[in-house]
Structures are given as structure tokens and as C-alpha cells.
Amino acid sequence: MAPTNKVLITTPWPTEAVDTMRTHFEVEVHEGPLPMPAEVWQAALRDFDAIAPTVIDHLPPSVYAQAGRRTRILGNFGVGFNHIDIDAARNSGLVVTNTPGVLTDATADQSMGLLLAVARGISLGDWHVRDGQWTGWSPTDRLGTQVTGKTLGIIGFGRIGQAMARRAHFGFGMQIVFHNRSRIETAVAQGLGAQQLESVEAVLKVADFVSLHCPGGAETRHLINADRLNQMQPHAFLINTARGDVVDEDALVDALQAGTIAGAGLDVFAEEPRVHPGLLGLTNCVLNPHLGSATLETRTAMGLKVVENLVAFFKGDSPPDAL
């Protein structure tokens, strides 16, 4: 029997995930322009039973309010969902799902990679060689910062924060301190060599590296601001693979220029794909284009998670990752 429910994928996915979606539904993939324009959204809401958006889709209000809407579920491709107004979706009868769990390791790997890159000058060293500036080994050339044995502060101790702690503690012998909105079981923290502190400030004051793993949204917007950057140690580094707006980028640029902190590794930005121009010329900042979950295995698994949620919904079951 041919599929009866129509699904729109708003951005091209890995082939395996799209092919799997096609075995269950009639599927169209929006190839561009990206992100999907508001007028395309309006038509899609009338024509499709489900839409699978991504983080680049800042959904227009029509998604929630449009009369005659056919779409019943948004299968978000990603764990973060601050681009979706969850309350408005619920009030309008739209179900929203996400893809937790499957991108934990890839994002934690990226966080550790950024930490190493900025601490040891790996990106800058690469360009130093490519630009023909390297004249040979020297005992004082481009000295970085030791990572092994240092203190890592983690803000947000969910799946990804804990995965980061595991890599840092068992791989690099780092001491782990963290802040989380809720209490983490003592046994879980101790198993990761981690200690929970009562405030963000308490973490910032003692950490040599600070890695952000908190959700985006109004509650965490500019969580790291000028006051909190000033509470970090001058030799400390900030790593962000969470959401760009968690950091006040104006304040971060000022702190990096003034030497308030030693450096930063950023995978996300407040106004993607725009990058704050003040960051672009800084040599103590490593910039990546939102690659946290960017492995073929992970992006495929994310798509398969969306399929799983949509299949459950259209069978009349509760989607496993409903928000």
C-alpha cells in the first residue's frame, strides 16, 4: 500500500535517513533557498501532514496560527528546539518532537576538540604552516596551555555535559566541577570525577576551562555576560557547543580583546550564519560552523529518530520524544 501521509523535510538530510522516511511516507525535500522562506512554510502547512524542521528554521508565527492547517506534527531534526515556540505549538494542537541521545557523543567530541584546539593553538598553527610562516622548531614558538590535569567547569550537566566530563576526566585527568539547574545524583557525579557547585559563578571562578552544555532559549540568553566573563580566571578558556545566544557576543569580544580570558572555542553563534565581526580577527578564538553533530553516523541517526517519532504518531501512539 502506498504511503498516505505527506512529510516535508525542510533541509536535505543524509541519504539513508531520507530513504528510510520514504518507506513510511510520501516525502518531499526542500532543497532551497535555505532556510525555508515564510511563504513556503505557509504553503507547506496546508499541503503536508508533518514537517521536519532543523535549527536553521526560525518558524514564522503562521506555523501556529494558520487557519486550515493540515500539518499535525513537527518532527524536529535536532535536540535543541529554541527555534520553536513550544507553548504556541501546544496551544494550537501541534505536536513537536526532537532527537535526544543520538548526538551526545558527537557533540561532546566536538567540545573536547575545540578545547584542545584553542588551548594548544592547533588551528592557528595549521594556518601558520599553510601561510609559509613556519621557519622551524623553537623552544618558545607558539606555546600553548596544558590541558591534562587542569580543572574543567561544565555549565549544564545533562547527557552531553556528562559525556564531556567523561572524556575530560578519564582521558585527560581533568578535575570536573559543574553547575546544573537541578541536583545530579551524587553517585553519577562521583562516577565522573565531578563535583556539583551551587552557582554558575562558583564554577567560573575555579575553572581553567568552561564548557557550555545548557539549552538555549529565553532562560539562558546571555547566561555568559560581561559580569560572568569578568569572574573567569585570566588564563581560562570558554568553549560553546550549546547555543550561540547563551553568550553575549559583544561582551565576549571585549573580554578576548582585553585579555580578561585567554581564549574561546565556538561552534555556535547568536545570529547564524552571521558571525560577530569582532570575533573574526581574533587569534585567541577558534571558530567552527556549527559542527557539533556533524558526523555522517550522527546526522543519519538524527533523521532516523525523526522517522521513529513520526511513525509512532501516525500509528496513534505517543511519539517517544514528544516535547
Q: Say whether 167 is catalytic.
A: no
Catalytic site residue from 166, 167, 243, 276? 243
- 3-class DSSP state for residue 280? helix
The answer to whether 126 and 178 are in contact (CB under 8 A) is no
Phi, psi of 63 (to 5 degrees): -60, -35
Phi, psi of 152 (to 5 degrees): -105, 125
The owner of cell 553517585 is 187
Q: Say whether 28 is catalytic.
A: no
The answer to whether 83 and 58 are in contact (CB under 8 A) is yes
Report the candidate in 300, 224, 227 with the shortest Cα–Cα distance to residue 268. Answer: 224
The answer to whether 235 and 145 are in contact (CB under 8 A) is yes
What size, in residues, is the chain? 323
Residue 42 to residues 36, 68, 70, 82, 83, Cα–Cα distance (Å): 10, 10, 11, 20, 17
CA–CA–CA angle 108, 181, 149 (5° rounding): 45
Q: Say whether 272 is catalytic.
A: yes
Catalytic site residue from 16, 26, 28, 272? 272
Question: DSSP letter string over 208-242?
Answer: SEEEE----SGGGTTSB-HHHHHHS-TT-EEEE-S
Catalytic site residue from 128, 159, 222, 290? 290
The answer to whether 31 and 53 are in contact (CB under 8 A) is no
* DSSP summary character for residue 244: G
Residue 200 to residues 207, 242, 246, 266, Cα–Cα distance (Å): 11, 15, 13, 19
> Across the strands, what pairs with 286?
265
Q: Which residues are catalytic?
A: 243, 272, 290
